[in-house]
Amino acid sequence: MVGSIWSHSQCEATRCESSACARQTRERNGDMSKRKIPHPATAEEDLKICDAASADPDARELTHAELADFKPAGEVLPGILGTAGAAMLMKRRGRPALPVDERKVTLNMRADRDVVEAFKATGDGWQTRINDVLRAYATSHKMLRRS
């Protein structure tokens, strides 16, 4: 539209409503967000939930005294399952944590694009290879206390 002046809102409205397919998709999918954001329960919904819980004879509300008597699983399980059984149940999941002085440090740095692309082209483990090159340099220049 040569010669016409459009305001931002006119452009926005035209862009958003320009495609019937886009409009149908937006109406069908809402904001297209994959993540569903939970909404807090209304007072009416909360009352229904509380009533349903109160009506269940197997699910009574605990008193403050009962909650105060709760103990951590680490204290209770050895007496129930034995030390080995409790240790198996309570063991940490995932990779074991390294000592603090051996942990990797997150680094945010800038490097030349061609250098990064060259390392990435070598495949998985490219960041480890960069670490190896930095370690070799630091070692050869006697910058490290340990090697």
pLDDT one-digit tens code per residue, 59-96: 888 899 999 999 999 999 999 999 999 988 888 778 88
- Non-local CB neighbours of 119 within 8 Å, separated by 6+ positions: 126, 127, 129, 130
Question: Could you give the CA distance from residue 137 to residue 131 in angstroms, rounded to a whole number?
Answer: 10
Whether 108 and 133 share a structural domain: yes
Query: Per the domain annotation, does 146 fall within a domain?
Result: no
- 78 and 89 Cβ atoms separated by less than 8 Å: no
Residue type at position 12: E
Nearest to 134 by CA among 114, 97, 113, 105: 105
User: Residue 143 is encoded by which pair of tokens?
Assistant: 């910058």
pLDDT at 29: 62
Domain limits for position 75: 61-91
pLDDT at 27: 65
Query: Per the domain annotation, does 22 fall within a domain?
Result: no
Q: Is 15 helix (H, G, I), strand (E, B) or coil?
A: helix
Whether 108 and 136 share a structural domain: yes
Query: Per the domain annotation, does 116 fall within a domain?
Result: yes
Whether 108 and 135 share a structural domain: yes
Query: Per the domain annotation, does 52 fall within a domain?
Result: no
0.75 surpassed by pTM: no
Query: Per the domain annotation, does 119 fall within a domain?
Result: yes
Low-confidence ranges of the chain (pLDDT < 70): 1-34, 146-147
Question: Could you give the CA distance from residue 113 to residue 43 in angstroms, rounded to a whole number?
Answer: 56
Geometric angle at alpha carbon 52, from 49 and 55, rounded to 5°: 150
pLDDT at 97: 84
pLDDT at 12: 43
As for how many domains the chain has, the answer is 2
pLDDT at 10: 43
pLDDT at 65: 94
Query: Per the domain annotation, does 72 fall within a domain?
Result: yes
pLDDT at 9: 43
Query: Per the domain annotation, does 79 fall within a domain?
Result: yes
